[in-house]
Every structure is written in C-alpha cells, then in structure tokens.
Chains A and B, each alone.
Chain A
C-alpha cells in the first residue's frame, strides 16, 4: 500500500468514526446501528495503520496486491450490511403497513361499538315511552 492510500484510508475511517459518534451524541441514531460503523471503521483504521496484517492475509488468500484485499474486504462487509439492511427495510415497511391498518381498523371498530350502544339506548328509550 502506498503512503497516500494509507493516509486516505485513515482519514476516511476517522471521518466515519467522528460522524457516527456525533450522530449518537445528538440522539439521531440507535446505538445498535452505530456499533456496526464503529467496528467497521476501527477495523479499517487498524488495517491502514498496520498494513502487515492485510499483507499477510492477502498472501494467505493468494491475492497479489494488498490493496486488492482491502477492496475485497470492504466490498464484502458492505455487501453483507446492504443485504441485511434491505431485509430490515422491507420488514419495516411491512410493519408500517400493519400499524396503519391496525389504527384505522381500531378506530372504525370503536365507532361501530359506539353507534351500536347508541342504537341500544334509543331502543330502550322508545320501549320505555311505549
């Protein structure tokens, strides 16, 4: 890895760390989701400060250049994250749908019950008068 490439990696990972910490600080993100970004950027930081580790792993996997290993690694992690994200989003959409329907149905049911009770009361009044 060239020094410039390492510098870019270091800056990018520190930037990510600062960004996510600021979001947590202002309560804009749930801690559960921030754990991934903190772990990921710390790992990237580690690899760029100690390129020997990445070199060793690249060697082990038979990848010619360390940079290629870093690319593969980043793509792979983001790939998995994107996959789980997409599943989460579709579940989220389903839950919103369910919630919206539930609220609407409950409201109508409440009206149903109210009008049913009113009818009953009217009937009672009528029969009393007779």
Chain B
C-alpha cells in the first residue's frame, strides 16, 4: 500500500473519467486512487467496471459531501496516511500532488492546491464569491486562505479519521474554516487548474447563489457554535 490515496468523486463523468484515471494509472503509479461513483445516471459505472478501475460504487446519489466521505471512510479503514480530493472532470493536474505531499509532510493537517498563492485573483463574478468566503474565513479565524473554494485538498491521517466518522464534514470551505478554528494548520501550494473539458459542473448558476448564502452563514455564524468531537484524538 502506498501512503497517498487519491479520492475521485464522480457524478455523471462518462466523458472525463477515463482520461483522468488513465493518466493517474500510467503516469503516477506512486499514488493509489479510488473512484467513488456517486450513483451516476450515465455510463460512468460501466466505464469503471470495463477498465477495472478501483471503484466504490454507490447505488444512489449522495452528493459531493456523501461521495467524498465514502472515499474518506475507505482511506481511513485501509490506513492511508494522506488522502487528496481530486476532481473527476480533469480540472486538477496530478503533477502538483507531489508538491502538496512535500508540504503536508512538513507537519500540516490540510494542504490546499491553490490558484492564487503567487498569482492575483481575477475580477470576475465567480471570484467575487471566492473573495467573500476568504473574507469570512479571515474574519472568524484570522487565517488568510487565498483559494478556499479550490476542490484540490490534501488531508493528513488525523483529519481523514475526523472526516470519515463525523457529521457536517463536507469537502467545503466551511469545514476548512471550522478545522482552522479548532487548531488545524493549513497551507496552500500554488497549482494550475484546467478549465472543464466536458460535462456539467456540480455548481450551476442558480445553485451558486444559494451555495454562497449557505457558506457565508455557515462560516460566519454556525461554525462558531460547533463542538468538536474528541473521538478523533485516539488514533
């Protein structure tokens, strides 16, 4: 078994999944991977079976949080030291995993593959959301997270266990904010991301407004009242 598990949640990704997973298998054999098919209604499941990919096959659609948590449960049970959340649509580039791994080994709990460590955030509507969330995290934790909405995050064993067994640990900025508040050390590593090549994103235009409301309420208000389950301490 290797030390890193790449968790690839996939919902209706028939056009992308083969390219993404084949790239990992051929060019990055130093990492283990697992595809979490989140009850896709297209041919994602068939493609994974035919190619003999390592697959967690969920019979119904749980959404990103539930699918990712299934992957974290596997990472925890199988004993992986590090797990990385990795998009099935090809936005994330595996060549940056190595740098993130190096960083997390310096003793961090979470390492975010960030688009804006060395580069400036563009002034678009999309990035306005990112700015607001950054601001909310800064306001409540004092930490500066440049790219809180980046879906490329690496977690240490401690956090893997916590995410695997608890409620309200979705792979979202509010979880990161909560963990920082509770003493987790977070670093960012500059990465590049590709635009989506095919398929639909989890976030549609209408949903993203609701997403912003939810995230901001969650980060600014709700996270302050949450109690941390101490069970994760006994590793």
Contact = CB atoms under 8 A, between A and B. Distances in A.
A38 interface: yes
B227 A31 contact: no
Q: How large is the interface on B (under 10, 10 to 19, 20 to 34, 35 or more residues)?
A: 10 to 19
Contact of A31 (B59, B166, B174): B174
Nearest to B168: A31
B60 interface: yes
B222 A27 contact: no
B175 to A, nearest CB: 9
B91 interface: no
Given A24-B222, A30-B168, A38 B217 contact: yes
Q: How large is the interface on A (under 10, 10 to 19, 20 to 34, 35 or more residues)?
A: 10 to 19
B167 A27 contact: yes
A102 B214 contact: no
A102 B59 contact: yes
Contacts of B218: 31, 35
A93 interface: no
A32 B59 CA distance: 23
B221 A30 contact: no
Interface in A52-108: 95, 98-99, 102-103
A34 B222 contact: yes
Contacts of A27: 166-168, 226-227, 229
B225 interface: yes
A98 B213 contact: no
A26 B60 contact: no
A110 interface: no
Given A38-B217, A39-B217, A31 B222 contact: yes
A129 interface: no
Given A27-B167, A38-B221, A99 B60 contact: yes
A39 B213 CA distance: 10
20 contacts: A21-B225, A24-B168, A24-B225, A25-B227, A27-B167, A30-B167, A31-B174, A31-B214, A31-B218, A34-B222, A35-B213, A35-B217, A35-B222, A38-B221, A39-B217, A98-B59, A98-B60, A99-B59, A99-B60, A102-B59
Interface of A: 21, 24-27, 30-32, 34-35, 38-39, 95, 98-99, 102-103
